[in-house]
Amino acid sequence: MDINNIKMVGVDKDTPLELREKVSFKDIGEALIKLKELGLEEVVILSTCHRSEIYFYSQKISTDEVKDFFINYFGLKEDFIKYLRQIYGLDAVEHIFRVACGLESMVVGEDQILSQVKEAIDTAQTFNSSGKILFKLFRDAVTLGKKARTDTGIKDLALSISYIAVKFVQEVFEDIKGKKAFVIGLGEMGQNAMKNLLDKGADVFVTNRTFSKAIELKEQIPQINIVPYEEKYLHI
């Protein structure tokens, strides 16, 4: 195995939000299959609110070819390529370790990323897109992430962005029980904020571009109030 054949192409928290949203993988399984068809020996996709990264092992396929995949898969203009980060070898290994430890997160040490890294390799295993090399890399990253949180005390400071946002609101209003709160967007961060608000007793209103997703969530959590996306500003 040549460590320089471990490569990563993607965007992260430092990429403008409006650009990150354009490369958010909706169907990771489908994307993994298409990437394997390119000739990649192993591939894992890590897709979260703040990053869309393709990790792969290949002796023949270059990072430029995977950049082209990003452009074609998401139907982007060629100039988007300049926003795609590429690293390989020890830099790629160190990067996934730092990601799993929460050192590359918007909130340093946040713990959601650890489960997301684990989910990424589990999904790759499900679709037979990862082999021994990336499986070991990601499992070691998860192990290191757990150890970092336990041994360094960073877990005591590690809070998700949604938790911090709700905590800030609670500090401003002292008690948010019974107060109206409006969550726009039902991605992972939005749903976590919604759950934190409900736990504090807030009267939660939610909206989402895909209204059917809001309706599905309402069926699971009857206590929320849903608002059509086009009417969101009427409720702010």
Alpha carbon dihedral 156, 157, 160, 166, in 10-degree steps, equals: 100
- Based on its alpha-carbon atoms, the radius of gyration of the chain, rounded to whole angstroms, reads 19
The beta-carbon contacts of 58-64 under 8 Å, at least 24 apart in sequence, are 58/5, 58/7, 59/2, 59/5, 63/7, 63/9, 63/88
| Residues involved in catalysis | 49
- Alpha-carbon distance values, 141 to 57, 68, 79, 145 (Å): 16, 27, 32, 6
Question: Cα–Cα distance between 105 and 23 in angstroms, integer?
Answer: 18
